[in-house]
Structure 1
């Protein structure tokens, strides 16, 4: 049924492309544009550069976001002091913060990494905080009864207990990280998927826009799937880690 749905969607898209070629393009034309970009436009290199920058920023965002979530979930004073600002960052549109990021970090690689950290890190704070609170609520009394505290409380109780929440946050944050890096490249002209989209928009080339958008969708789906698989594997083994 899934294959049939894909075939129907492609046929409908091809028909729409014959009627409105400058608006909807078509699968055949998009496939040809992808082949041209792979040969003439260094598409694999640009995708690899985008993914590399994304992973560097996302790794930093994961560490900072989980650490901040642990502090907020563990200490009520930190939650009262920091949560309003984090909610404001979570709600603010990314595009509104880009000019400030340019002033602080310029328009190079540091700007893209910082933008990813800001966009993806805040997505991890709240799941990590919720997981920390739940783990402490469920196992905190037992841990105190056995004298478990300090770093061992974090590694043996909080992290295993909060892992499902953190895994869900990681899946969301990697999507946000991809959006951040593509938007950043689009706005400042740093080589990557966003630059290809910007150039195609400037030429009003619907075929190239659809082709690059499909590449971005494929990258996002692959990263989300890999992160989800890793999260399920880690969650399946969290009982052994806790023990």
Structure 2
């Protein structure tokens, strides 16, 4: 199976190289893209732009995680909060990010605050529903046991609810990290804040397919690395959970 996957990648790269030979201005090619990535690293300050983009993304993602997890706990734990908030959250989840961006520009301007707000709006909602589902499931399974042992209040939150919902929260974090990276790049693309999105915007104006593909591949690599890091953190934090054996 592994060899089939490798062969598929090789065939794709060969076909892409062939298409690039036919029309390099539109399709580019793997060799041209690699050359462009090297040029951006050596001459275009790509490393600094990547670090700036990731730093902004992580800060906004942290805010989104706090807001999303807290809201998820509320609607998962309290029925009244679910009845009041959940319809609006479902509606917000259905709204495309690009439709909210003009309002965010009006409210926050085009600086760093705008980028952070864009990330929070794009990713916070993706953490609400997994957290709520994990909270409801934990309450369903352990609430009666906790009451029997007089575990309530703060102890119930930190000893039962949070550990029980952690796998669901981790799923939301793995899904939302890619969305957070996309949000910050889209925000930079639209308002011109320095980062990977600005490189894409400049390349689009110049109709430079090589640079567009190069930045897209760098963003893909950054997203894959962040997803792997979140997965590793989840496995580390969840090491205490017993493995299910058949």
What band does the TM-score fall into relative to the shorter chain? over 0.9
CA RMSD, 1 decimal? 1.0
The 3-state SS of whatever aligns with 2:107 is helix
Partner of 2:101: 98
State the partner residue of 1:159: 162
Q: Write out per-residue CA displacement over residues 58-96 of structure 1, whole angstroms, 9 at most, x where no aligned residue.
A: 011111111100000000000000001111111100011
Gaps (5+ residues) in structure 2?
none
Quote the Cα distance in structure 2 between the aligned partners of 1:149 and 1:106: 44
- Match of 2:77? 74
**Correspondent of 1:39 among 39, 42, 54:** 42
Deviation at 1:233, TM superposition (A): 2.3
Q: What does 1:91-240 correspond to in 2, within 5 Å?
A: 91-238=94-241
Structure 1 unpaired stretches of 5+: none
> Could you report, residue by residue, the CA deviation over 1:157-208 in whole angstroms, capped at 9, with x for unpaired residues?
1111111111100011111101110000000000000000000001111000
Alignment partners' CA distance in 2, 1:238 and 1:63: 23
* Contact 1:200–1:209 under 8 Å retained in 2: yes
- Contact 1:68–1:125, Cα closer than 8 Å, also in 2: yes
TM-superposed deviation, 1:238 = 4.1
Secondary structure, counterpart of 1:111 in structure 2: helix
- SS of aligned partner of 2:151: coil
Partner Cα distance (2:221, 2:180) in 1: 14
**Matched pairs, number:** 239
Write out per-residue CA displacement over residues 127-175 of structure 1, whole angstroms, 9 at most, x where no aligned residue.
0000000001011100011111111111111111111111100011111
